[in-house]
Each structure stands twice: as structure tokens, then as C-alpha cells.
Amino acid sequence: MSVNELYNVWCKNAVDDADLQTELLKIHDDEDAIRDRFYRDLEFGTGGLRGVLGAGTNRMNIYTVRRATQGLANYVKASFKNPSVAISFDSRNKSDVFAKAAACVLAANGVKAHIYTELMPTPALSFAVRALSCSAGIMVTASHNPAKYNGYKAYGEDGCQITLEVAETVLSEINSLDMFNDVKFCDFDEAVANGMISFISQDVIEDYYKNVLAQGINTELCATSGLKIVYTPLNGTGNKPVREILSRIGIKDVTIVKEQEMPDGNFPTCPYPNPEIREALELGLKYCDEVKPDLLLATDPDADRVGIAVPDGDDYALFSGNEVGAMLLEYICSERTKNGTMPENPITVKTIVTTDLIEEIAKEYGLEMIEVLTGFKFIGEQIGFLEDKGEEKRYVFGFEESYGYLAGTYVRDKDAVVASMLICEMAAYYRTKGISMIQARENLYKKYGVFRHSLQSFTFEGESGMLQMKALMQHLRDEQPVDIGGLKVMAVSDYQASITTCVATGAKTEITLPKSDVLVFALENHAKVVIRPSGTEPKIKCYYTTVGNTMDEAMALEKKLIDDFSELFK
């Protein structure tokens, strides 16, 4: 069916959402706008769906959500006896609408749907899947993307985002469905009345809180530490659970950024609600100028990521995800070793783009370090492997550089609620020792060396952008650089081909991780460049690592790498 034919079908059939009809009429004579909305189906993968809100097959709307859910319903019905699915949603525009639409499709297909009564974080969805013995889970969110986006993450019965194999099965089901004729759905209130849709109880939420609190090490210090916090949930789901947990561990001096306190999918004071970037924290930093806290804490809209800023002279320094993760691992290992709660044969897990500093910390405390592909589901998967062997207590901590952390095995996704608690506990502990967070970071560098990391993202919008991304990755495979920023390439790892090649000898080593569109250029002096297309956004991401005796030395090397490698994108 042509783009224009699809457009006409939608004009005729997409009548359940007045906003979509208005949009379709508005673009009637705009060929480019029509093509952008209908040139492809919104891609369903291991990250589920993510796209711009609006009308069309290449947009997030109730029809793309219903169709995806019908595919998921077909899968769970074929794979489970008495299947059920847990559903949560964040503060984004239409998140509640999409969550209810998904529940109605499941109920109409005879699949029991358990849905939270109000917006809840991604980790709370992961928890509910396992707590309620569900076959799958759905989290309606676009994480930290701008307000024009929404999304839909699918989870397996283990509480992890679905595997590639399951995603392919669900995608096959979705592709066999006509958007308007093959999808079953029912009335939400009727499904609640007949028991096919039920609301997740407060008992489940309380059990989640208890599991978060159980990850504390020195929480008894918090109440008397004098720690002062400024917190922003960035108009998202962290507001209630983060504040509840901080209150329970005795941290009462918490100033909330009022303009970003309540749920608001337009993110009016924060166009890009990503705690990785300074822009998202600007309003919180203004509060810091007045309040003078020990710590600024910011969680993203679905509260699976957390960013921080700490006093640094007259200003506030933003810590990277790599720095916070390394500091948390050092703190957890040091304190658990000291108090005798470190398990036998402990394990830490990181992704391939996360700091290699973790390897040094693991050596110091006798941890096995497991490295996985980018995506927290692979960290969650490792916890599942341990659980299958009855060894889940070996897992100490896992994290990825993009501000996602998890202590404990009660969920299988990154959790900004437990991370917020542990960051505050760590800061409180250091405060009682007369050590600032800046000093704690410096102590880490003195102990292990300065590991400097940075990330560049290059955006490729639309159909032409997707082709550009593929061409660029192929070019790098066909014409591999011999040096980057003056540093010699020592080895090239192609995770799509599952081969690491030593440049000097030509020797090849098999990569045993699942295939992924990732290239890693290992350079001399422990430097590294990793390049991969994003799995959830129209971007190519470049990760740079340099190591030096001082920060200035590491930053000078980093600038050379960035200046050289970014020439590829001009």
C-alpha cells in the first residue's frame, strides 16, 4: 500500500482520537509530512516502541499501541497458561491513555491486565511483573526524550526487557496484523468490572519500598548526618517514591524544585528532561544557589536514571554516570567488606561502553567483573542467570554509563529510587567523615588513576537519516582507521561480526556476546572509542575513554580523539 493510500485509510478509520483527525486534516496537502508519518511502521524491537506522538504508522498513537499489544497478547497466549501482563506509565502526554489502551487489548484477548492506579517508575513495573507472577510487562514511557516523544517498553516474565528472540516473535505477530481490522479491544470500565483488568495494590508498592530499603548499608547515619538535598523529579514519576524513601532513611532536609515537582508531559521548564545534561539541571542549580545543599539530585521522567551535582568551590559540579557508578561501587565494596556482608565470589556487571575503572575496583575487592552489551536488560539477564543457579546473592552492583544503577536483585532494570537512596547514603557517610563528594571523587582517582569519559551524539532524522547511519557504520567497517587523535589503533572489535582483530598480528578472537551493531577501537595508552547507533533514538553515539595521571592530561587526550573522530560526521 502506498503512503498516500495509507494516509487515506487512516483518515477514514482513525476516529477514536480527535487529536489524530485534526492532525490528518492539517497535513492534507503536505506530501513530506504525510510521507514522514507513513513511510514505515514504527519499529518494534527489544526496546519496544518509541517515536514522536501523532498520527500515522511511524508515530506513537493508540493505534500503534493497540497493534503492538495485540502482537504481545498473541505471544503470551501461545506461550503461557493463564497469561497476565503488568502495566505502568509515566508522566508523558498520553501515557495514561496508552496504558489503558494496552490493558483493553489484553483484556479483550483474555489476558489479565494488572495496571497501577497512578503513574509509577519503570523499576516499579519490573518489580510488579515478578511480584504478581505475570507473563510480561508494559511500561509506557519515552524515558528522557523530549516532550514530543512517547514509547512502550515490553518486559518478559523475568522482569527484564524482552529478549531479541521474543521481540522477533512479537514483531512477527505485529506484522501480520491490520492496524484497524485485526486488533481486539474492549471498554476499560467493563473490563475492570468483569475482572479482566485489575489495579495493582498498595501492598505491591510497599513491598517494592521494603526491597529498596534493604539495599542500604549505613542508612542509620543519614538522620544525624545533617545532609541537605535539593531534589527535582523533572515533572516525572520519581516525586513520590524517591521522597518516600529519603524520608524513611531519615533525610528530612529536602528542598523540591517546585516548578518540576508535579507530573507534566510538556516539561515546560526542561525541554530535554535528561539528568545527563546540564540544561535539565539548570533550575535545580538555581535552587542550589539559594539553599546551599550538599547534593542536587535529579531523576528522569520514568525514574530509572538519576543525575547529581555537588558543591565545588563557588559552583556546582555535575558528576557523570561513570563517576557516580564507580564511586557507588567503591563505597559499597569498601563498606560491605568492612562490615562482613560481602558475599562469597561477588560479581559486578557493566556494559561495554561503561568505564574500565570498574575493572580496577573489581580487582581491588576481589569481584568478578562481567561485561555485557549496551542496555540494562543485559545486566538484568545476568542476575537471572545467577538466580537460576541459586547464586543471586553474588550480585553486588551493576550500572551503565547513561546514569542507570542497580543494587540488589528485586528488579531487573535500572532503578533511580534505590540509586538516589544509595547516593544520599554515600554522601551522608562521607559527610560524617569530613569528606566532600568532590574529595571522595579525587580520592578515587588517586587510588586508581584518572579515567576520563565523554559521549557525542549525532542525530539523523527521517528516512534519509537511517540510511546515513547505516552507510557510516559500513564505511568504518570497510575503511578502519589506523590511528585516532594521534593514538594508534591496537585492536578493533566488531560486535556485529563477533570478532576482535589485533591490528599488529591480524589475530582474530571470537566475541561471545550476542551480535550488535557496535564497533570498538582499542587504542594505545588504554584509550578507547566506541561507536554504535542508538537502539531507541535516531542517533549515532560515540563514547571516548582516555586515561591519565591527571585530569588535565586525560582531557587533553580526549580533545584529540573527539576532534579527529568527529570529522567523520561533517
The residues assigned a catalytic role are: 143
What SS3 string covers 242-309? HHHHHHHCCCCCEEECHHHCCCCCCCCCCCCCCCCCHHHHHHHHHHHHHHCCCEEEEECCCCCCEEEE
512 exposed, middle or buried (CB, 10 Å; 0-12, 13-18, 19+)? exposed
- Quote the crossing angle between the two packed helices 416-432 and 202-213, to the nearest 10°: 40
Assess contact for 405 and 457: CB atoms under 8 A.
Answer: no
- AA letter at 527: A
Q: Beta strand pairing status for 508-510 and 136-140?
A: unpaired
Distance CA 382, CA 372 (A): 9
Find how far residue 35's CA is from the centre of its chain: 30
* Range list of H helices, 91-163: 95-108, 122-131
Using CA atoms, how far residue 496 sits from 213, 385, 464, 470, 521, in Å, is 40, 24, 22, 13, 14
Distance CA 541, CA 537 (A): 10
The DSSP H or E segment spanning 49 is strand 49-52
Assess contact for 483 and 514: CB atoms under 8 A.
Answer: no
DSSP three-state, residue 568? helix
Assess contact for 47 and 153: CB atoms under 8 A.
Answer: yes
The side-by-side arrangement of strands in the sheet containing 136-140 is 49-52, 149-156, 136-140, 84-89, 112-115, 197-199
* Nine-digit cell string for 326: 564507580
Distance CA 557, CA 570 (A): 21
Mind giving me the DSSP string for 526-553? G-EEEEEE-SSSSEEEEEEEEEESSHHH
Using the structure block, give the residue that is written with the C-alpha cell 577501537: 521
